[in-house]
């Protein structure tokens, strides 16, 4: 017996298969949805986002946006998200530095340095992050001296088990008018970039290394001028000092933040070191030799020949490491840093809105990941080898 | 590799099957029948019965209060699954030999004894403070016995039913002696202090309320794990730690290296009635949980202990005879054996025994948790 | 007349030459070397001093059984030992038959077995006999493997594939068999739980990952987008949230009256769902490495799409991704430590409950270091063994 020709057509079969697949998926989704609604209804639980505006009535240890216990649950979740973003952003910058240094150190001709870097990578990559975090927090940071016996570093910097205290600024009334100069300084960065590119295009030669500090010096000069034209200084220094049980004033990094940041940077740095090492080794020896024979110095050949090529190999795996760092910040719950996952857990416990809060949390992480991938893909496209 | 592929896939299938049979899956005997009963009752308990004109003349009897399917499921399964703390000495704790002990755990054992005449027919699941209610709602255990405070929101909004209070507690705060002069100090002594607290607890909320009301600034340091909070306090991360008074006393003695360096302030920051909880909507199951606890309190009132309970079987007192199931059919009205209280007393003990066994060593006086006849709050409704 | 003095040739061998070449070749290299030495001294001196004088290692030896197997019934421990004996025997057999490919693992097992026996002797516990027996089995089967004909290879391979289901069965037990009474998964703990989670999740996530990888390269857009969506969704969120959802919420998604499987099984399901997305990406890498010619050749031979996939493409692709799969084994092994957050008693959480024992207060450094060393040692050993195996098999070279 043979099927009619219609059903032996590959096109038709493919369409049919897809329809069946979609139907099965829809069936599964419908089944799960029905189960959830029955189960919830049976316990008299309702699904909805009304709770978001209710007062949270719990305090959060640290936040970068203003928050009080009387603020809403929505605000509390936002605090968690900002905390996650803060530690991730700082972590990504620092881990890149640590990773690149360790990766280059592994290729060092100095035996001791390359061995040290190799053992750092070997030990850190092979142990779970959560144990490392607990070790840093309980084993190292909480063992620092108590507040009363703080380690005083030069420049009013204090290191205690309650955190690291740094001098910081305190805005004065004239801060508002000074803010204009901050904008001017930012614009100047773009201007410098355009000028440099213009020069570069005309001379077709790379800019000398000493021209790069312009990026730092010009904005500082603008800010300094702005500072002096104000009738009174726009901000004054604010030094931490011991008042009662704790230090007051200045900028403070809490031990939880410090341990989490340190743990994430050290952990991800080990992975990045391997990526950097592989990337540099991927640049063929001929390239280096060719650069040398053109008369480039070793710094020049590293900067102009090796690094741009290595970067192409490095960027894609580096992106996934950055994402890992952001996702791994959810382990903060083990050491008491109020990140998104930890605050979401508290909100679930207080409101019972399990599904809703989990949806918010998952979507936040997902959009963070997608956004980072998008940015890195754009960068990757720009750096890509243009093939002729 | 090619030859191995069929073998490989076969093995995978085989091991899935093995893993499935090898481990006892909780509640396998629950069959379709139960599902049918439930679907019939769901609209009734949900209050969605169409009212008004469509009512037939022979009106159905009022919907039974609730299913009792949990009780049946537990009985069929042959053991009780109980959610408890994992590392709280005195209440719920896993010791060096891998054994569970503690006040809350003893109630789990008492329920198991009442249901199965076997105090060990219980599986203890350790659950964190943050996850406990979600886990209970999701049906991961039959009953939660994990020093949980009975509060309005939890009762109404989280879809839970709390049982009789097994322990009347209150929130307290503990600080180092070098910071507060003595136990009579107020919160203002803690201006600017770091306070360690566990997340997902009522104490976390009260802490915010109390300091706000007193107008005192503080820095909350919130941990998901109570032991981590104590550890951080011990190391000096916080100046004070807050929790239920009982917990500060037991955990404080257990995990602080020198408990005498610390002082628990007299200040009572809240009422913390700790009670077992079950999922809302199954009154029959809730009744079993409640009445076993009441039975243990009642037994203490009559002086019935695990040692002398057999002597009481011949007692002439009708109250005692009913309680122990010698007379009357109290147990079968709940759907359990008539001697369910006898079993719990015999195998685990009365309320006072459970208290003495687990908490006396920490110097926790009975206080509010004494019988009402001794000026406490423990009071069981009559068994009749 | 000016005498032309030739400098003597530079030393190129000997320890001093080595030092000069590798540590002090230039002035800044010398500075860096001294700085690194100073740093090492500053870090290691107090650490070693602490480890040998202050540290209270008694916390580990007193709770060793708890760390290893958690609450696993003490009278059923013979099942764990039996699994270890079987492993020793199989490893010995493979060593005898394949020589190089299994040598790395065999040496490690030999060293570890003897090391544990020694530790057992030092701690005055009688486990040293068990370890010696495992080592003896390893050596005995090695001798046996050497004299077996080449035919024994396929039998040994099948034995390896059977080994994991057998171990799962042995540890979990079976109803109806009197001497294999079921041990509920909530009693599994410590290293045993960690290893069981790793093994089961790996074994089951691979087939799912292969399916997803094939789906991602499917010509059918619906299947392709579903696979892409699943993979990207899972890879976009932290593991701990996936575990949280599956562990806590799975019962909500089951029909009324069907109770959820117990905690360990739920966690395993979470790991499988998570790991499958990563395995899919590994396998996809392997699939992409297959040259078009292979497909075309298969088509020319008249093989259907399914046959091409299962006979030509997958075997080559899987062979190419063996190192990646070994890597995910290691990362999954590390990731199992997250179950401590949701309340299963793995090494880490056992460690935390040990810290609450009144006689071992303030020993968190010892406990964390011990857990740290277990993970590190296990992973290093696994990396070493698998690398030797890959080299011997020529994985990635062909």
The predicted-structure confidence for A89-137, as pLDDT tens digits, reads as follows 999 999 999 999 999 899 888 889 999 999 999 999 999 999 999 989 9
Contacts of B253 in chain C (CB under 8 A): 358
Angle at the Cα of A184 from the Cα atoms of A182 and A190, rounded to 5 degrees: 110
In C, which residues are within 8 Å of B134 by CB distance? 248-249
Contact residues, A window 49-78, toward B, CB-based 8 Å cutoff: 57-61, 69-70
The angle subtended at Cα A341 by Cα A338 and Cα A345, nearest 5°, is: 90
Task: State both tokens at B348.
Answer: 């685990």
Helices (H), chain A: 5-8, 10-42, 73-106, 111-125, 129-134, 175-203, 214-229, 255-282, 285-293, 298-300, 307-328, 340-351, 354-383
> Which among C102, C241, C81, C238 has a CA at the least distance from the CA of C159?
C102
* Cα-based torsion angle of the residue sequence A121, A125, A126, A128 in order, rounded to the nearest 10 degrees: 140
Query: A287-291, B67-71, B198-202, B231-235: which range is least confident on average?
Result: B67-71
- Contacts with A39 from chain C: Cβ below 8 Å: 251-252, 254, 256
Work out the minimum CA distance from C53 to partner chain B, whole angstroms. 20
Measure in Å the smallest separation between the Cα of C144 and chain A Cα atoms. Answer: 35
* d(C-alpha B327, C-alpha A135), whole Å: 61
* Alpha-carbon gap: A72 to the closest alpha carbon of chain B (Å): 14
Give the whole-angstrom CA distance, residue C164 versus residue C160.
7
Average pLDDT over residues B117-136: 90
Give me the pLDDT at residue C273, please: 95
**Nearest chain A Cα distance for residue B26, angstroms:** 18
Asked if the model's pLDDT at residue B48 lies above 60, the reply is no
Integer-rounded Cα Rg, in Å, for chain C is 26
State the pLDDT at residue B285.
94
Strand order in the sheet with A251-253: A151-153, A157-160, A163-166, A251-253
**Binary contact (B232, A162; C-beta < 8 A):** no
CB contact under 8 A, A245 and B131: no
The answer on pLDDT for A352 being more than 90 is: no
Sheet holding B87-88, edge to edge: B87-88, B92-94, B100-101
Q: How far is CA C24 from CA B27, C9, C14, C333, in A?
A: 70, 18, 15, 41
- What does pTM read for this prediction? 0.85
Q: Which residues pair with B84 in a beta bridge?
A: B126
pLDDT band at B276 (very low <50, low <70, confident <90, very high): very high
What is the predicted pLDDT for the residue at A3?
65
C320: distance to nearest CA of chain B, Å? 12
CA distance A51 to A49: 5
pLDDT at B257 (0 to 100) = 83
Q: Do C357 and B95 touch (CB under 8 A)?
A: yes
Each residue's pLDDT tens digit, A67-90: 988 999 999 999 999 999 999 999
For chain A, the chains sharing at least 3 beta-carbon pairs closer than 8 angstroms are: B, C
pLDDT number for residue B28: 32
ipTM computed for the complex? 0.88
pLDDT at res. B29:
33
Percent of chain A's residues with pLDDT above 70? 96
Is the separation of the CB atoms in A168 and A161 below 8 Å?
A: no
Specify the higher pLDDT residue, A197 or C40: C40
Three-class DSSP category at A284: coil
- State whether residue A38 sits within 8 Å of chain C by CB: yes
At residue B325, the pLDDT reads 92
Q: What CA–CA distance (Å, rounded) separates B162 from B144?
A: 9
Q: Which of A110, A128, A324, A360 to mutate to test the interface with C (most CBs of C within 10 A)?
A: A128
Higher pLDDT, B108 or B9: B108
Residue B27 has pLDDT above 60, yes or no: no
Do the beta carbons of residue C203 and residue B12 sit within 8 Å? yes
pLDDT digits (tens, 9 = 90+) for B74-89: 999 899 999 998 878 8
For residue A355, list chain C residues with Cβ-Cβ distance below 8 A: 249, 252
Tell me the C-alpha distance between B195 and B203, whole Å: 11
A340 by DSSP, 3-state: which? helix
| Inter-helix orientation angle A354-383/A307-328, to 10° | 180
Nearest chain B residue (CA) to C362: B257
pLDDT score of B334 more than 60? yes
Residue whose C-alpha is closest to residue A97's, from A281, A279, A273, A338: A273
H or E element at residue A252: strand A251-253
Facing B159 at nearest CB: one of A44, A57, A161: A44
Say if the Cβ atoms of B224 and C356 lie within 8 Å: no
Least confident of A20-29, A246-255, B307-316, C112-121: A246-255
Which of C209, C256, C279, C340 is the mutation pick for testing B, counting most B CBs within 10 A? C256
Question: Which parts of chain C have pLDDT scores under 70?
Answer: 1-13, 257, 395-398
Which among A41, A336, A350 is the nearest to B232, CB-wise?
A336
Cβ contact (<8 Å) for A131 and C221?
Answer: no
A227-231, A384-388, B241-245, C117-121 — which one is most confidently predicted on average? B241-245
Q: Which candidate, B136, B118, B164, places its Cα nearest to that of B292?
A: B164
C396: left (phi over 0), alpha (psi -120 to 50) or beta: left
pLDDT, mean over chain B: 81
Q: Which two tokens stand for residue A75?
A: 């605000």
Please state, in angstroms and as integers, the Cα–Cα distance from residue B371 to each residue in A203, B242, B341, B352, following that order: 95, 27, 18, 9
Strand (E) or helix (H) holding C295: helix C292-300
Residues in chain B closer than 8 A to A357 (CB atoms): none
Chain B contact for A245 (CB, 8 A cutoff): yes
d(CA A326, CA C195): 27
Contacting residues of A for C338, CB less than 8 Å apart: 128, 130, 331
Judge residue C31's burial from the number of C-beta atoms within 10 Å of its C-beta, 0-12 exposed, 13-18 middle, 19 or more buried: exposed
Which of C19, C222, C343 best tests the A interface by mutation, with the highest count of A CBs <10 A?
A: C222
Residue pointed to by tokens 């503990």: B174
Contacts of C349 in chain B (CB under 8 A): 86
Tell me what pLDDT residue C294 has.
87
* pLDDT reading at B26 higher than 60: no
Q: What gap in Å lies between CA A151 and CA C278, rounded to an integer?
A: 45
Both tokens of residue B302? 């009559």
Helix (H, G, I), strand (E, B) or coil at A294: coil
Q: Is A48's Cβ below 8 Å from some Cβ in B?
A: no
Cβ separation of B96 and C66 shorter than 8 Å?
yes
Retrieve residue C369's tokens. Answer: 């270091």
Closest Cβ opposite residue C361 in set B21, B125, B257:
B257
Token reading at A328: 């791994």
Kindly state the average pLDDT of the residues A149-168: 87
Greater confidence (A287 vs B35) lies with A287
Residue by residue, what is the 3-state secondary structure of chain B?
A: CCCHHHHHHHHHHHHHHHHHHHCCCCCCCCCHHHHHHHHHHHHHHHCCCCCCCCCCCCCCCCCCCCCCHHHHHHHHHCCEEEEECCEECCCEEECCCCCEECHHHHHHHHHHHHHHCCCCCEEEEECCCCCHHHHHHCCCCCEECCCCECCHHHHHCCCEEECCCCEEEEEEEEEECCCCCCCCCCHHHHCCEEEEEECCCHHHHHHHHHHHHHCCCEEEEEECCHHHHHHHHHHCCCCEEEEEHHHHHHHHHHHCCCHHHEEECCCCCEEEEECCEEECCCHHHHHHHHHHHHHHHHHHHCCCCCCCHHHHCCCCCHHHHHHCCCCCCHHHHHCCCCCHHHHHHHHCCCHHHHHHHHHHHHCCCCHHHCEHHHCCCECCCCCC
Phi, psi of B144 (to 5 degrees): -105, 120
Mean pLDDT of B24-53: 33
Write out pLDDT tens, residues C209-255. Answer: 999 999 998 888 999 999 999 999 999 999 999 998 898 888 888 88
Judge whether residue B50 has pLDDT over 50.
Answer: no
For A243, the enclosing helix (H) or strand (E) is: strand A241-243
Taking CB atoms and an 8 Å limit, are B224 and A44 in contact across chains? Answer: no
Judge contact between C322 and C395, C-beta under 8 A.
yes
Mean pLDDT of B336-347: 94
Q: What is the pLDDT of residue A384?
A: 66
Q: Output the pLDDT for position C10.
A: 61
Contacts of C75 (CB under 8 A, 6+ apart): none
How do residues C114-170 score in pLDDT, each as one tens digit? 999 998 888 877 888 999 999 999 999 999 988 888 778 888 889 988 998 899 889
Phi, psi dihedral angles at A58 (to 5 degrees) = -125, 155
């Amino acid at each position: 017996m043979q099927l009619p020709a219609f059903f032996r057509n590959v096109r038709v079969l493919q369409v049919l298969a897809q329809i069946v697949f979609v139907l099965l998926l829809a069936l599964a989704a419908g089944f799960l949805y029905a189960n959830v609604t029955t189960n919830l209804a049976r316990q008299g639980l309702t699904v909805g986002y009304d709770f978001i505006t209710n007062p949270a009535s719990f305090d959060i240890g640290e936040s970068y946006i203003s928050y009080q216990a009387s603020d809403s649950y929505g605000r509390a979740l936002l605090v968690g998200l900002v905390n996650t973003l803060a530690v991730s952003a700082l972590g990504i910058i620092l881990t890149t530095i640590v990773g690149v240094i360790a990766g280059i150190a592994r290729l060092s001709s100095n035996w001791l340095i390359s061995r040290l870097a190799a053992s750092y990578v070997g030990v850190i990559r092979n142990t779970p992050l959560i144990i490392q975090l607990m070790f840093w927090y309980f084993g190292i940071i909480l063992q620092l001296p108590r507040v009363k016996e703080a380690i005083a570093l030069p420049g009013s910097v204090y290191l205690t088990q309650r955190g690291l205290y740094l001098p910081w600024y305190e805005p004065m009334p004239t801060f508002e008018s000074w803010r204009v100069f901050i904008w001017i300084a930012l614009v100047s960065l773009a201007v410098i970039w355009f000028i440099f590119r213009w020069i570069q295009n005309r001379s077709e030669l790379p800019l000398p290394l000493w021209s790069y500090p312009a990026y730092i010096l010009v904005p500082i000069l603008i800010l300094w001028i702005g500072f002096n034209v104000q009738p009174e200084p726009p901000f004054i220094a604010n030094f931490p000092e011991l008042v009662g049980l704790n230090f007051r004033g200045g900028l403070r990094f809490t031990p939880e933040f410090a341990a989490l940041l340190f743990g994430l940077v050290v952990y991800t740095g080990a992975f990045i070191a391997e990526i950097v090492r592989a990337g540099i080794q991927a640049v063929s020896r001929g390239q280096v030799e060719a650069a040398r024979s053109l008369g480039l110095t070793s710094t020049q050949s590293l900067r102009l020949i090796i690094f741009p090529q290595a970067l192409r190999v490095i960027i894609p795996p580096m992106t996934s490491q950055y994402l890992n760092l952001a996702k791994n910040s959810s382990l903060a719950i083990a050491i008491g840093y109020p990140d998104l996952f930890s605050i979401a857990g508290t909100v679930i416990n207080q409101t019972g809105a399990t599904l809703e809060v989990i949806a918010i949390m998952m979507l936040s992480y997902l959009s963070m990941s997608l956004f980072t991938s998008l940015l890195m893909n754009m960068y990757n496209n720009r750096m890509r080898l243009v093939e002729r | 590799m090619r030859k191995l592929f069929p073998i490989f896939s076969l093995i995978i299938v085989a091991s899935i099957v093995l893993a499935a049979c090898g481990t006892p899956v909780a509640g396998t005997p629950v069959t379709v029948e139960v599902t049918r009963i439930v679907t019939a009752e769901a609209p009734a308990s949900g209050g969605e019965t169409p009212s008004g004109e469509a009512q037939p003349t022979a009106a159905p009897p009022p919907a039974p209060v609730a299913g009792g399917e949990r009780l049946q499921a537990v009985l069929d399964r042959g053991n009780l699954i109980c959610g408890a703390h994992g590392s709280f000495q005195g209440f719920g704790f896993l010791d060096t030999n891998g054994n569970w002990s503690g006040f809350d755990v003893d109630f789990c054992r008492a329920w198991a004894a009442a249901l199965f005449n076997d105090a060990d027919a219980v599986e203890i699941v350790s659950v964190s403070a943050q996850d406990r209610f979600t886990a209970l709602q999701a049906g991961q255990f039959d009953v939660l016995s994990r020093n949980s405070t009975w509060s309005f929101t939890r009762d109404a909004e989280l879809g839970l039913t709390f049982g009789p209070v097994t322990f009347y507690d209150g929130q307290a705060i503990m600080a180092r002696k070098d910071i507060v002069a003595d136990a009579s100090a107020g919160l203002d002594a803690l201006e600017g202090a770091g306070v360690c607290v566990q997340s997902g607890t009522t104490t976390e909320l009260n802490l915010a309320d109390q300091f706000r009301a007193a107008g005192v600034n503080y820095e909350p340091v919130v941990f998901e794990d109570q032991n981590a909070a104590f550890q951080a306090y011990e190391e000096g991360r916080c100046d004070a730690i807050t929790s239920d008074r009982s917990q500060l006393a037991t955990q404080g003695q257990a995990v602080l290296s020198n408990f005498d360096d610390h002082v628990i302030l007299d200040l009572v920051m809240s009422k913390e009635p700790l009670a077992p909880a079950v999922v809302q909507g199954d009154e029959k199951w809730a009744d079993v949980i409640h009445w076993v606890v009441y039975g243990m309190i009642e037994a203490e009132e009559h002086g019935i202990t695990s040692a002398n309970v057999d002597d009481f079987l011949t007692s002439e007192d009708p109250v005692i005879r009913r309680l122990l199931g010698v007379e009357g059919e109290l147990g079968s009205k709940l759907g359990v054996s008539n001697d369910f209280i006898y079993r719990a007393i015999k195998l685990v003990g009365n309320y006072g025994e459970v208290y003495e066994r687990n908490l006396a060593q920490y110097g926790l006086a009975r206080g509010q948790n004494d019988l009402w006849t001794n000026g406490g709050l423990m009071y069981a409704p009559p068994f009749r | 007349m000016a005498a032309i003095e030739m400098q003597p040739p530079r030393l190129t061998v000997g320890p001093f030459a080595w030092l000069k070449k590798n540590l002090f070749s230039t002035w800044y290299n010398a500075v860096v070397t001294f700085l690194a030495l100073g740093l090492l001294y500053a870090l290691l001196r107090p650490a070693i001093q602490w480890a040998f004088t202050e540290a209270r290692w008694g916390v580990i030896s007193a709770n060793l059984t708890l760390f290893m197997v958690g609450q696993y019934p003490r009278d059923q421990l013979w099942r764990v030992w039996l699994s270890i004996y079987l492993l020793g025997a199989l490893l010995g057999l493979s060593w005898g038959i394949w020589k190089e490919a299994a040598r790395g693992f065999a040496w490690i097992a030999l060293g570890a077995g003897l090391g544990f026996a020694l530790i057992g002797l030092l701690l005055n516990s009688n486990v040293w006999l068990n370890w010696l027996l495992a080592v003896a089995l390893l050596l005995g089967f090695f001798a046996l493997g050497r004299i077996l004909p080449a035919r024994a290879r396929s039998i040994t391979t099948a034995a390896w594939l059977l080994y994991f289901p057998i171990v799962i069965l042995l540890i979990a037990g079976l109803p109806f068999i009197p001497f294999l009474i079921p041990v509920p998964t909530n009693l599994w703990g410590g290293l045993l739980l960690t290893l069981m989670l790793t093994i089961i999740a790996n074994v089951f996530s691979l087939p799912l990952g292969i399916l997803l990888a094939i789906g991602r390269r499917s010509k059918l857009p619906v299947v392709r987008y579903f696979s892409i969506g699943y993979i990207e969704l899972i890879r976009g969120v932290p593991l701990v949230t996936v575990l949280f959802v599956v562990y806590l919420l799975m019962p909500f998604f089951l029909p009324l009256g069907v109770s959820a499987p117990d905690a360990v099984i739920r966690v395993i399901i979470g790991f499988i769902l998570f790991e499958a997305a990563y395995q899919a990406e590994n396998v996809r890498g392997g699939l992409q490495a297959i040259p078009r010619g292979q497909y075309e050749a298969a088509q020319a031979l008249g093989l259907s799409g399914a046959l091409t996939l299962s006979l030509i493409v997958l075997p080559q692709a899987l062979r190419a991704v063996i190192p990646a799969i070994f890597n995910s084994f290691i990362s999954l092994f590390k990731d199992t430590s997250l179950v401590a957050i949701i309340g299963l008693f793995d090494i880490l959480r056992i460690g935390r409950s040990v810290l609450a024992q009144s006689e071992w207060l303030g020993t968190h450094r010892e406990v964390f270091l011990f857990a740290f060393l277990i993970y590190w040692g296990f992973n290093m050993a696994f990396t070493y063994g698998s690398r030797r195996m890959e080299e011997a098999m020529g994985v990635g070279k062909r």
